[in-house]
Amino acid sequence: MPFAKRSLGQNFLQDPNTARRIVAALEIAPGDHVLEIGPGRGALTEWIVAAEPARVQALEKDRDLAQALPERWPVLEVLAGDALAHPWESIDSPSYKVVGNLPYNVASPLIWDFISRAGDYGRAVFMVQYEVARRLTAEPGSSDYGALTAWVRNFAATTLLFKVGPAVFRPKPKVDSGVVLFSPLADRPGQKAARALAGLLRACFQKRRKQLSNILKSQWENGIGQWFAEQGLSGTLRPENLSPRHFRDMAERFGDHFFT
Ligand code: SAM
């Protein structure tokens, strides 16, 4: 077996029970189409194939691992490539389910892209660093709540399913992991609003300790101050106090002028 590549975030899951629980959370039905991100040596793949969905695809960047997978599971369609460059728009049906024990070094940008670009899908289940799992599932007002939280939650509802300790991986990571379920919202921002929302969130959370009237001061007199008053929100609030929906409403209302 070749050595694990740290540059590809390779921490291979050794515990069949954890793998089984992650795949069970996908609730695979016979007509489903499952896409696994980073199958590695197949810890999750084994359980996915055993559930007998209609189609299984596996997207793996490591060419050596990608080559070895179909020998073990001939039904597997292996896509040798980079998940950060995947055309997520091609996912377009509620029978699509996406799963992965994600490489920790790319998990946040990957989820950011997937969640906003994918069309319809049934559900997604990702294992990520526990700290990222907490950010993905944080409530407004908490220290874990940030740009990633407010972004993701405009596209999907998230649930932290369970925590996984380092002992079940080889090599062992230094930190805990968490498994998060994503269920797409019926009403998600369109492309233009999403661009504005991304810009707004970055502007706000880069200065998360400042008051919003200060962060947004160049636009405050151009309608945003008025909008805050209409919503019953004070300009002394900080970004972490606004809900994901507040950010979306602001991006949709003022995006054309300020954030694109
Ligand atoms: N699923 C396996 C498991 O649970 O043992 C492996 C998980 S390991 C944490 C992450 C996997 O993602 C590795 O197989 C790695 O080669 C692959 N990977 C890393 N970066 C990737 C990328 N940008 N696109 C696709 N796969 C990637």
* Residues in Cβ contact with 25 at an 8 Å cutoff, skipping those fewer than 6 apart: 125, 161, 179, 181
Here the contacts of 212-215 (C-beta below 8 Å, separation 24 or greater) are 212/236, 212/237, 212/238, 212/239, 212/242, 215/239
**Protein residues with CB under 6 Å of any ligand 1 atom:** 8-13, 37-41, 43-44, 59-62, 65, 82-84, 101, 103, 106
Ligand 1: centre distance to CA 65 (Å): 9
Q: Report the pLDDT value the prediction gives residue 1, as an integer from 0 to 100.
A: 63
Pairing of strands 96-101, 77-80: unpaired
pTM over 0.95: yes
Identify the residue whose tokens are 């007199």.
Answer: 221
Interval 182-237: pLDDT, tens: 999 999 999 999 999 999 999 999 999 999 999 999 889 989 999 999 999 999 99
In this prediction, residue 258 carries a pLDDT of 61
pLDDT at position 260 over 90: no
pLDDT tens, residue by residue, 105-118: 999 999 999 999 99
- Strand 33-37 relative to strand 96-101: parallel, antiparallel, unpaired? parallel
Tell me: pLDDT of 2 over 80: no
Whole-angstrom CA distances from 142 to 12, 111, 149, 159 are: 32, 21, 11, 16
Domain topology for 6-184? Rossmann fold (3.40.50)
Domain with CATH 1.10.8.100 in the chain: 191-258
For the stretch 31-66, pLDDT in tens is: 999 999 999 999 999 999 999 999 999 999 999 999
pLDDT by residue (tens digit) across 70-110?
Answer: 999 999 999 999 999 999 999 999 999 999 999 999 999 99
32 C-alpha vs ligand 1 centroid, how far in Å? 22
Atom of ligand 1 nearest to the CA of 83: 24
pLDDT above 90: residue 4:
no
- Asked if 33 and 93 touch (Cβ cutoff 8 Å), the reply is yes
Residue 66: Cβ within 10 Å count = 18
Report CA(128)–ligand 1 centroid distance (Å): 11
Which DSSP string corresponds to the chain?
-PPP-GGGT--EE--HHHHHHHHHTT---TT-EEEEE--TTSTTHHHHHHT--SEEEEEES-HHHHHHHHHH-TT-EEEES-GGG--GGG---TTEEEEEE--TTTHHHHHHHHHHH--S-SEEEEEEEHHHHHHHTPPTTSTT-SHHHHHHTTTEEEEEEEEE-GGGEESPPSS-EEEEEEEE-SS---HHHHHHHHHHHHHHHTTTTS-HHHHTHHHIIIIIHHHHHHHT--TT--GGGS-HHHHHHHHHHHHHHHT-
Cα–ligand 1 centroid distance for 98 (angstroms): 14
pLDDT at residue 255 in the model = 84
Tell me how far CA of residue 48 lies from CA of 76, 170, 207, in angstroms: 10, 21, 43
List Cβ<8 Å contacts ≥24 apart for 135-143.
Answer: 136/111, 136/160, 136/180, 137/180, 140/240, 140/241, 140/242, 140/243, 140/244, 141/240, 141/241, 142/240, 143/240
Which residues make up the CATH 3.40.50.150 domain(s) of the chain?
A: 6-184
Average pLDDT, the chain: 95
pLDDT in tens, 224-258: 999 999 999 999 999 999 999 999 999 999 987 66
Mean pLDDT across 129-149: 98
CA-closest residue to ligand 1 atom 14: 40
The CATH label, of 1.10.10.10, 1.10.8.100, 1.20.120.1200, 3.30.365.10, for the domain at 191-258 is 1.10.8.100
